[in-house]
Structure 1
C-alpha cells in the first residue's frame, strides 16, 4: 500500500528539515574554523547536536516510509 499524500508530505517535510540542519551545521563549521580553539570546540558541540537532531528526523522519515508513522488527514 502506498503512502497518502499527507503522509508523503510529512516524510518530505522531515527530510527537508533534516537537510536544513545539516546545512546549518556545515555553515557553522566553516565559520567556526576562523576562530580560536575554544570557540571551535564550543561550536563543535553545537554542530554535533545539529547532526544528532538531523539523524533523528531522518529516522522519523524512514518510519514514515515504512508506514509506522502516518499523518491523519485533517478534515
Structure 2
C-alpha cells in the first residue's frame, strides 16, 4: 500500500515538472520568434535604404554630366 502512494506522488511530481518544462520551452520559442521578427523588420528597412542608395547612384551614373566628365578624363 505504501508503494502505491509513493508511485502516485512520483507520477504527479513528474507530470508537474514536465508541464513546467513545456511551458518554459514555449516561452523560449516565443522570445526567439520575437527576436527574429525584429531582425526581419531591421533587414527589410536596410534593404529599403540600400535600394534608395542604388537609385541615387544610378541617377548619378546615367547623368550626362557625369558621362561627359568621364570622357574628358579619359582624354
TM over 0.5: no
Q: What band does the TM-score fall into relative to the shorter chain?
A: 0.3 to 0.5
Flag the structure with higher helix content: 2
Name which structure has the greater RCO, CA cutoff 8 Å, separation 6+: 1
Pick the structure with greater CA Rg: 2
TM-score by length of 2: 0.42
TM-score by length of 1: 0.42
